[in-house]
Every structure is written in structure tokens, then in C-alpha cells.
Amino acid sequence: MRRTHSCITTKTVVDSVSRAENHNAMMTSDFTTPNTSNESNTSELVDDKMLQTPLAVLYSIIFILGLTGNLVALWAFFFVHSKKNSLQVFLMNLAFADLLLVVCLPFRIQYHLQQNKWKLGHTMCKLVGYLFYMNMYVSITLLGLISIDRYLKIYGSAGTRRKMRSPKWSIVVCAIIWAVALAFMIPFVHESNDKCVNSTKCFHFRTIPQEDMLKAYINIFVLVVFWLVFVSLVLSYGKIALKLLRRSQQRPDLPTAPHYSRVARKSFFVLFLFVVCFVPYHAFRGFYIKTQITKETQDMQNLADKFNEISLVFSALNSCLDPVMFFLLSASVRKEVRRFMSSVLRTRDVTGTSVANSSTELDSRSDKRQSNALDNESEQKYVLSSSS
């Protein structure tokens, strides 16, 4: 059946056309534009209502934690840590990408609280949806680069380690990543091949003609990129952790032995966060794409869509868990968090406001010097671990 080119107001006709289209059209990614079909299946409506409140609550929690954590991290990177290296550059860009993703969450929260009805127009729907996914994959790419950066600082030659200390190469790489991400996003945001733009559906699949396979290929390409990044993380952090654990076990009398063990545990923890947040969504993604481009039953498509929504929450969760990684990998972030917490506790206990403000300012200056010293010490220990 050919795709209809007009919005029919009669619900019965719309439902019948929608069911026919689902067998002869492919689904693009769920962040493109509002869906033009109405929901006629009673069980689907019940499932939607069951997910609306939990999704809104979960996204609200992620928004609050992610906004706070990434703002603190960016403050530490820009104003506390004065000496920049490649790792700091990657972490700064990662915090910025997470912050942009978090900014998209209030729109999703509002959408779910309004019973999955979008009232801001299809262009805004596409912009928010693409921005969410763009920053998610920028974050994934940066996490892969961070693993490579740490791997080369341990396993690389002396010349490689010396070059890695300069932030220039990481700045260029990050600029390329953002440029490529924007180049992918802008054309799709400006694209307008929807004939029915008054729909209230958003963050949902929509149907397009069978011959338009471009977006399906993009989904597959992104999926391949993710698994390549995942393999790089497993290999990099796995080798880092195993080497440092061997060092600490072979020479437990060395002063750096406890440090090696801590770094090994941090490597496993970062890998654990990546697996929990991103692997469920992408492990299911191949099946989801298949259900959208083949003749599956409506129930199967609905089930795939629901699981896609649930697994997407885990991906968004990464934006508020990345600050935990910043805390582990960056001494400046650790010092800033501790300074903030101590200042809050001190303000509660000290009656004189001026005394509290004065001590906080002195602590900030002292912590800034200690932060730079700790990061330099950490860098030296990485070099020692590779040369010993």
C-alpha cells in the first residue's frame, strides 16, 4: 500500500492506514520526528500509561544528579585545575556533552507527564531528540578515547608518553568529534519530509518509504562504532588493570604498590559503568532495528519499542554517573567536591558567616595548589608504572 500524503482526521481511517503502513515501511530511529499514527490498541495504551510516570520520575532524578555533578566537574576543570593535559581535555568535553544531554531531559519529563503528548512542534521534537542522541554518542566516543589515552600513557613508548602530556592533540580530536556530530545532526533537523506535522507524538518511531534506507544504515553504522569503542575499552582497561595488579603483587614493598591496586580497581569500575549504562541499549538495538524494517506483528513492534524506552533510561543514567568517574580520575574534581562538602558542613556549624567565608577562600587557594600537585604526581606514577 502506498504511503498516504494527507492527515486524515477520522480516527478509524487513520488506524487502518497506520496498520497497513507498518508492513510496508521501515522505522527510523526513535528520535526523528513525531509519529503520525494514533494509538488504537488498548493494551498498548495501558503499557504507555504504565511507563509514563516511572520514566518521568527516573529522568527527573537523572536530571538533578547529572546537572549538579557535571556543573561541579566543569567548575573544577576550568577554575580549579590550571594545568591541562590530554586526559583533562577529554574529561572536560565529556562533562560538557553530558550536560547538554541532561538539558534535554526536562522536555522528555514534560512529554511523559502530559501523557506522551508533544505540544512544542515537530521541529523542536527533532531538535531535542537528535541533541540527546548526538551527545550520548559523543560521550561514548570520548570514553573510548579516554581509555586509549590511559593505555598509551602506560604501554606507549617514552616519546609517545611525552607527546601525550600536551593537550594539543586531544583538543584537535575533540574539535573533530564535535564537528562530525554536528554535521550528522543538522541535516536531519532541517529535513522536513513529514506530511503530518500536527501530531502529538514525539521520541517515537515514525514510518518512511521503504526505499529510504539511509537512516537504517546510519543506525547500523552507529551500532558498529559503539561495539568498536566497547572492545577498545575492554582491551585497554583490561590490560591496564592486569599490568598494575601484577606490579602490586610482584613488588608489594614498593611505595607505589597501593597506588597500582587503586588504579586497577578504578579501571574495572569505569568499565563496569560503561557496561551497565550502554550495553543493554545497544545489545538490544540490532533486534529493534530488525523489527522496524521487517514485517513484524504490531505486538512485537510495541514490545520492542517499550524495551527500547526502558534501556534508553540506562543510557541517560551515564550522564549522572560520569561525574563519579571524574571524581576517580581527576584530583582537581576530588578536591573541589571535598571543598564544597566541607564548606557546607562548616557553614552549618560556624555561627560567624564572615569566618566561614574567609576559611573557604583560604581552603580554595590551598586546594588548588594541592590539586595540581596531585595530578602531576598521578601522571608521574603512570609513567613509572610503564617504565618499571
> What is the rounded distance in angstroms from the CA atom of residue 384 to the CA atom of residue 227?
32
C-alpha cell at 344: 557546607
Q: Which of 159-173, 310-324, 372-386 comes out lowest in average pLDDT?
A: 372-386
Residue 18: what pLDDT? 44
pLDDT digits (tens, 9 = 90+) for 324-379: 888 877 777 777 778 777 777 776 665 444 434 544 454 555 555 554 544 544 44
Domain boundary assignment for the chain: 18-329
pTM: 0.74
Higher pLDDT among residues 264 and 75, named by residue: 75
Closest CA to 129 of 246, 227, 33: 33
Give the ranges where 114-190 is alpha helix by DSSP (H): 122-155, 158-164, 168-190
Higher pLDDT among residues 51 and 100, named by residue: 100
Q: Which of 58-72, 96-110, 201-215, 330-344 comes out lowest in average pLDDT?
A: 201-215
> What is the rounded distance in angstroms from the CA atom of residue 121 to the CA atom of residue 128?
11
pLDDT digits (tens, 9 = 90+) for 327-337: 877 777 777 77
pLDDT digits (tens, 9 = 90+) for 290-306: 887 777 787 887 888 88
pLDDT digits (tens, 9 = 90+) for 308-318: 889 999 999 99
Residue 256: what pLDDT? 65
Higher pLDDT among residues 117 and 42, named by residue: 117
Is it true that domain 18-329 has CATH number 3.10.20.30?
no
Q: Judge contact between 67 and 100, C-beta under 8 A.
A: no
Residue 49: what pLDDT? 72
Q: Judge contact between 219 and 289, C-beta under 8 A.
A: yes
C-alpha cell at 115: 501523557
- Give percent of the chain with pLDDT exceeding 70: 69
The residue count for the chain: 388
